[in-house]
Structure formats: structure tokens, C-alpha cells
Structure 1
Amino acid sequence: MNVTTGEPVRARYPLLSSTGFLWFWSADSLSMVGTYITALALQVLAVQTLRASPIELGVLGAARWLPYLLFGLIAGVLVDRYRRRPVLVVADLVRAGLLALIPLSAAMDVLSMPLLIAVVLVFGTVSLAYDAAHQSFLPTLVPPELLTPANARLEQSSAVAQTCGPVIGGWLIRIVGAPLAIMVDAVSYLISGLIVARLRVAERSGPPEHRNLRRELREGLTWVYGHRMLGPLALASHGWFFGSAMVSTVYVLFVIDELGFDAAALGLTFALGGVGAVAGSSVADRAGRRFGIGPTIIAGRWLTPAGYALIPLAHNGVTGLTLLCTAQFLFGVSIGVDSPLEMGYRQSVTPDRLLGRMNATMRSLNRAAIVIGAPIGGVLAAWLGIRWTVWIAVVGLLIPALALIASGFRHARSGADQSR
């Protein structure tokens, strides 16, 4: 019993009653820590060891997400046809093996930018299947009224991983080097896959009898872009990912090469982003209930350009590092506020038979925006310089935020809104 209110702990925290969710949350949290270590290690490996140019960094960033552009919609159809847990398990195990190839090739002295890009490309293809199943699997673990809190817990774990991962990654890179730091992520995926494999949930046993790929694709696209709330949200999200990809592509190069900070300082800036995400996700549910889903998400979208506007103002020294940390903190808050509300809303208004296609459609087109935005960021950085590239991205990020205000999405108030 709780000594303050007399209420049972599980009554106050109903997610504790879902054993399946707790295991799923644990697996997701573990792999996320490794993911942020790898995100940092890959860029440091490319910049410091392989001496990648801005354009090569753009190609590397695009390779991770290119499969979403090529196969994303088909992945959504397949996830809606079959059980999702086996997809999650196999994807985790395959990704563990792929990441292990990077330190192995480095040890054999055969690692190069083309090989690194190829590994990342295959890794992105497997992650595509995982992501489509991951976002559609959660509604089988918790009831609709707990989707937003459950997504908030997942986002908080991601935020903590974002806080710890880059710091751990920065020190691991300094001590053992970037290739071996990536091996930590490989182990985390292996453990995550074994945890998810032990989950027992009720899912469909097989594909539907009548299948028509074209019709199923069209049905998913019509649901997303024909919905009077999801449509504007999807288009604004694509614009947000485009602008953010431009900044993230050149950020590491700016911090390490132009400003002269080391990997530990770079990891610190990313860690402050994680702190911001924890803060944002901690208030997301309450803010959504008080101010409405739409207005709260829109507020989060404005924080991204506000934070990124600080990056081109930074120079070396303590003041510059402080500006970079503040920029990442504001960016983290924007994600922490936005993500759980958006995901909970999307999951609650979409029927189960369309969850895979809805999630794959939005996620794939978001990643397609990264595929386009990342190389453009690299080309602009080589042509105009990094500071001007970031300013262009900041202006671009203001456009989807303004578009959401002008759309009907500003009236979205709860996940129960099924209006079309």
C-alpha cells in the first residue's frame, strides 16, 4: 500500500500490471542504450578514422534510411498480415550480427567508407521490418487507454539512453576506439531479441486468406493522408525529419572538425539532449490532457528550430559548448513532448488491421525525408559552409510548424477522436 494515499501501487501505476509490457520495455531500453553508442561511434569512425567528407557523411546518413523509402510501404502490408513478435526477434538477432561485422572488418584492416555504407544499408533494411512491427506490437500488450503512458515510458527510456549512451560511447571511443564501441550495441540487440522471444502474447496465427498487395497499399495510404488529423500530422512530420536530417548530417563534423571539440564533449551535448527528452516526456501526458493533443504537439514542433538556431552561434570554448548543449537540450524536450503523444494518438485512432500500414507509411515517408535531407545537408555544407546550412534548416523547420497551426490538427484533443 502507498503510505501517502492508501492506494495500491498497481492502481496508481497500471502499466505495472502488464508483465508483457515490462519485459518489452526492458528489451527496448537495453537496445536503445547501444543504439545511441553506435550512432555516435559510426559518425566518429567515419570522420576521424575514415576521413569522410561532408558528402560521404550525407550518403552514410541516407543509407540508414534508404530502405524505408524503397520498401517501407510493403513492409507495412506484410506486418499487417503476419504475427509481429517473430519479426522483432529475428530482426534483433540479424542486426546484432551485422554490427559485429564492423569491428571485425576494422580488425582485419579492410574497413572503408563503401563497406561501412553497405553494412548500414543492410542494417536499415532489417530495422525497417523491426520498426513497422515494433510500433504495431504495443497495442497487443496494453489497452487503448494506456497507449500514451506506455509510449511515454518508452520515450523516457529512449531519452535516458540518449543521455547515457553518448557519454558512455564518448568514453568507450576514447578508451577502446569506435569499432569496439559498436560491439556493445551488437550485444544489446542480441539480449533484446532473447527477451522478446520469451514474451507470450495473443496474435493472429497467419495471413488473411485473400490478399491484394496494391489494394492493401492503397488502403494504408488513404487512411493516413485521407484522415483529417493524421494527414496534416504526417505531412508536417515529413518536413520536420527533412530539416532535422540536414542538421544532424553536419553536426558531428561541425563540433569535431570546425570547433575542435573531442568525442567526449560531443557525447556530452547529445547527453543533454537526452536530459531534455526525459523532461519533455515526463510532462507530455499531463500537457496533452490539459492543453489538448494538437496544441501540445505543435508546441513541441516549435522547440526544434528554437534549439537548432543556437548551433551556428557556437564557437570553441566553454561558451560554445554551452550553446551546443542548450541546443540539444531544447531539441530533446521537443522530441520528449511530441513523440509519446503523437504515437499514442496514431495508435488509438487506427484499427488493428491497419496499424502496420499506418506506422510503416508515416515512418517510411519520414525516413524518406531523411534520405533526401541528409545528402542535401552535406552538399550545402560543402558549398555554403556548415553554419549557413544549419540556418537554412532552421528556416525550413519553421514551415511544417506553421502548417500544423493552420491545419485542423490544432483541434486534436484526444486519442478517441476518430474523425476523418
Structure 2
Amino acid sequence: MARGWRRDFNFVWAGETASLVGTQVYQLAMPLTAVLTLDADATQLGLLGALTFAPYVLLGLPAGVLVDRWQRRGVLILSSLGQALSIGAIPLLAALDLLTFGRLLALACAAGTARVFFTIAYRSYLPAIVPPEHLTGANSRLTASESVAEIGGPGLGGALTQLVGAPFALLVDAVSYLASALGVSAVRQREKAARVDPAPLRSQVSEGFRFTFSSAYLRATLGEAASYNLCWQIVLTILTLFAVKELHMSPGTLGLTLSVGAVGALLGAAFTDRLARRVGLGRTLVIAAVIGDLAPLLLPAAHRGTWAAPLLVCAFFVQGFGITACNVHTMTIRQTVTPQRLLGRTNAAYLFVALGVKPVGSLLGGWLGTHLGLRGALAVGTAGLLSTCLFLILSPLRKVRSLDSLRPEPPEGARAAAPASTP
């Protein structure tokens, strides 16, 4: 690997940091656009969330195989531009007084489609430009950027929503994807020519699943991620509506609350590597996951008044610390145990399950919000989070001391004389 990897990584890191800030603005401004501009209810918010993540279910698996065949740098550039165009169309339609809920759904789905290819390619691209011994540090920096974005993004989104309106705040996200495309285009290190696997598409997709579920480490992290995403998506689906309608928070106050609470995520990214060296990787994973699962229980207890914002700040601060500390290591574990040639399809299989549950969580959150009320839906979602850490507690990962004990596991076809037939 070229000595200039730090320069290449810094360009990618800078572009991704800008994109992450934009994403945080999007995550606040998009539901606020639905609620404040289009007067959406809980059921409609559930549908919006479902269509945003539906592309992971419909396209995630073939996208993983295609990413393994294509140069990932090009995929990242094109998918960033696709997201910029899709999200940039929302403020344009709003300015022309042509924005409807149906068009909002269509553009959210289009942006989600581009995001599928970006997410899979990005997670597979980093090991191609960063030496293995520096992956944990690189992931820590990227996770720290996520935390910084979570601190600044919601506050920026809330302020812009109050200043210019929710649809026009989305311009920040559109521009951020242009920055992401520029960052990746500046990378000098070129990937090795992709080896086209002659096996049928169905067989390659199956290989990603076989490898993921044959690894005890990946099964544990996938179970934790999928169950957490399902329950957390229930919470996120109705959180904006709960804050605006029940707690009577302004967009600016809600954004500032989420920003202050996200400081915990920054601290989690900063200290998790040090904690893992001291108490062990497995113990750090379990402790961080338990902390992150317990904190959101405070959310349903919030009521309109002086203590609403501080309670939400406390919940998001502790939750951010725990989940971010956990995520840094789960990402590195996946990149460590997976062979380079299988990263695309394995990431696709992983994301198909981990993110494929989000449409279900969105629809369930909308249904629960309609039938149990917003506070009742929050209670169900946060209570469900308590079970997610069991996947780590009951797995061999809890005994892993460090990454040195993990090695890339051979694909299933290499462990047997012939690959298993596809049903």
C-alpha cells in the first residue's frame, strides 16, 4: 500500500465529515418538513421512514455483488452525486410550491437508493486505502466525525429550519454530498483491478450470507445491530412528532437538545480504544452496549416543562457514549475477519439484515404511535432495546481480548472441496 495513504484518507475523511453533518441536518429537517410543512401524522412518518430504508431490502444484495465487481471509488462518487440531486430537488419543489407528500416519499426513496451503493462501497473501500494496522485508528476518526456531526448537525438543522424553513435547510445536505464526491475524487491510491467472479449472481449473494452466518463474531454483531436498529427506528419515527406535539419544542430547541446530547458520542469514540486496551475488547463491547441500551428509557418519561430538554440531553448523551463506543469496534471486527474479496457481498448481506429491519421499525413506530399514542410507542421501542446486548453477552466476542486474536476467516468455499449448492 502506498505511503501516501494518510493523504488519501484525510481527503476521504474530510468529505465524509461534511456529508455526515449534512446527514444530521437531513435527519432533523426531513421529518420536520413532513410535520411542519405537509402536516404529516404518525402513520405518514412511518411510511416516510419505511421508503427511506426500503432500498436496502430491495437492492442491498445485488448491490454488494456489483460493488465487488466495480471500482469502489467510482461508485462512491456517483452515489454521492445521486444523493445531492435527489435531496436538492426537495427545496426546489418547495420554492415552486410543488412539494407534496407523495413527491417527498419518492425523493426520499431515490436518495435511499443512492445511499445503498454508497454505504456498501464505503465500508468496503476503507481497507483498500488504509493499512490493516491503522484501521482501528481510521474508524475511530470517522466515528469521531460522526459524533462531531451529531453535535453540530442537529443544532444547525434546527436553526436553519426556524430561519428559512425545513425544506430549505435540506440544501445543506445536498451540498455536503458534493463535498463527499470531491473528497473521494482526490484520492490518488487506485484499487487493484476487481476480480470478476464467474459464479452466478445468486451464488455470490448466497456466499455473502454463508460467510456472515458462519462466523460467530459476525453473527453476534449482526444480531445486536439488527435488533437495536429495529427498536431504535420505532423511537426515531415518532420522536420528532413527540417533541413538537407533546413537549411543544421548537425546531431550534429540539436541534440544540440533540446536539448537546451527542457530545457523549464524541467521548465514546475518543475513549473506546483506550478502554479496550485496558479491560479487553469483548468486555468493552458488552459494557458499552448495556450503557447504550439503558439510557433511552428516560425518553418516555419526558413531559412538557422545564425538565423536558435536560432529560432528553441526558438520555442522548449516555446513549451516544455507549453505542458509539460499541460501534467503533464492531466495524473494525467486521473489516478484520472478512477477506478483502468478500467485503462487498458480506457487507451487503450484513446491511440487508441490519438495515433491512428499519422499514419494519418505521411502519411499526407509526402504527404504535397511532394506536398506543406517541408516549406509548416510545415506551415499547426503548424497552425493546434492553434485549439487544444479549447477542454480545452470549457470544464468543465477550472473551476476545484484542484484535490480535482475530484473523480473516476463509470463505466457506475454501473450507470445503466444493462450494455448497444454492437452494
Same fold at TM > 0.5: yes
Contact conserved, 1:281 with 1:336, CA < 8 A, in 2? yes
SS at match of 1:309: helix
Distance 1:259 1:296, change over 3 A: same
Contact conserved, 1:346 with 1:415, CA < 8 A, in 2? no
SS at match of 1:18: helix
CA distance in 2, matches of 1:94, 1:404: 36
Cα deviation for residue 277 of structure 1 reads 0.8
Partner residue of 2:420? none
CA distance in 1, matches of 2:88, 2:381: 34
Deviation per CA, 1:367-404, whole angstroms, max 9, x where unpaired?
11111111101101111112222222222111121232
CA distance in 1, matches of 2:271, 2:294: 19
> Counterpart amino acid of 1:379?
W
Deviation per CA, 1:165-224, whole angstroms, max 9, x where unpaired?
111111111111111110111111112212211211231334516232122111111111
Partner residue of 1:5? none
SS at match of 1:316: coil
Contact conserved, 2:150 with 2:259, CA < 8 A, in 1? yes
Alignment of 1:228 with 2:216, yes or no, is yes
CA distance in 2, matches of 1:240, 1:95: 26
Picking from 111, 116, 136, the partner of 1:148 is 136
Partner residue of 2:345? 357
Partner residue of 2:29? 41
Matches within 5 A, 1:160-171: 160-171=148-159
Partner residue of 1:69? 57
Alignment of 1:285 with 2:273, yes or no, is yes
Alignment of 1:261 with 2:259, yes or no, is no
Partner residue of 1:98? 86
Picking from 325, 330, 333, the partner of 1:345 is 333
Cα deviation for residue 20 of structure 1 reads 0.5
Partner residue of 1:86? 74
CA distance in 1, matches of 2:292, 2:357: 16
Deviation per CA, 1:303-345, whole angstroms, max 9, x where unpaired?
2332211011111222111101111112211232012111111
CA distance in 1, matches of 2:191, 2:45: 41
CA distance in 1, matches of 2:234, 2:82: 29
Matches within 5 A, 1:316-331: 316-331=304-319
Partner residue of 2:378? 390
> Counterpart amino acid of 1:145?
E
Partner residue of 2:225? 237
Alignment of 1:274 with 2:262, yes or no, is yes
Partner residue of 1:7? none
> Counterpart amino acid of 1:321?
A
Cα deviation for residue 236 of structure 1 reads 1.9
> Counterpart amino acid of 2:15?
A
Matches within 5 A, 1:87-236: 87-208=75-196, 210-236=198-224
Partner residue of 1:8? none
Contact conserved, 1:220 with 1:361, CA < 8 A, in 2? yes
Deviation per CA, 1:44-89, whole angstroms, max 9, x where unpaired?
1111111111011011111111110111111111111121000000
CA distance in 1, matches of 2:197, 2:305: 64
CA distance in 1, matches of 2:229, 2:261: 17
Partner residue of 2:391? 403
Picking from 355, 358, 362, the partner of 1:370 is 358
> Counterpart amino acid of 1:159?
S
Cα deviation for residue 232 of structure 1 reads 1.8
Picking from 338, 351, 368, the partner of 1:380 is 368
Contact conserved, 1:273 with 1:333, CA < 8 A, in 2? no
Picking from 384, 407, 411, the partner of 1:418 is 407
CA distance in 1, matches of 2:391, 2:145: 30
CA distance in 1, matches of 2:365, 2:208: 31
Identity %: 38
Alignment of 1:26 with 2:6, yes or no, is no
Distance 1:299 1:332, change over 3 A: same
> Counterpart amino acid of 2:328?
P
CA distance in 2, matches of 1:209, 1:17: 28
CA distance in 2, matches of 1:71, 1:199: 27
CA distance in 2, matches of 1:374, 1:201: 40
Distance 1:309 1:165, change over 3 A: same
CA distance in 1, matches of 2:393, 2:107: 40
Deviation per CA, 1:213-241, whole angstroms, max 9, x where unpaired?
12211111111111011112211211011
SS at match of 1:318: coil
Query: What's the TM-score once normalised by structure 2's chain length?
Result: 0.93
CA distance in 2, matches of 1:195, 1:400: 35
CA distance in 1, matches of 2:276, 2:4: 22
Structure 1: 5+ residue stretches without partners? 1-14
Cα deviation for residue 136 of structure 1 reads 0.6
Alignment of 1:304 with 2:304, yes or no, is no
Contact conserved, 1:16 with 1:22, CA < 8 A, in 2? no
CA distance in 2, matches of 1:217, 1:412: 29
Distance 1:209 1:240, change over 3 A: closer
CA distance in 2, matches of 1:328, 1:308: 7
CA distance in 2, matches of 1:20, 1:160: 21
User: May I ask how many residue pairs the two structures share in their alignment?
Assistant: 406
Query: How large is the Cα RMSD of the aligned pairs?
Result: 1.6
CA distance in 1, matches of 2:246, 2:385: 24
Distance 1:272 1:363, change over 3 A: farther
> Counterpart amino acid of 1:78?
L
Structure 2: 5+ residue stretches without partners? 410-423
Contact conserved, 1:63 with 1:120, CA < 8 A, in 2? yes
Deviation per CA, 1:88-119, whole angstroms, max 9, x where unpaired?
00111111111111011111111111111110
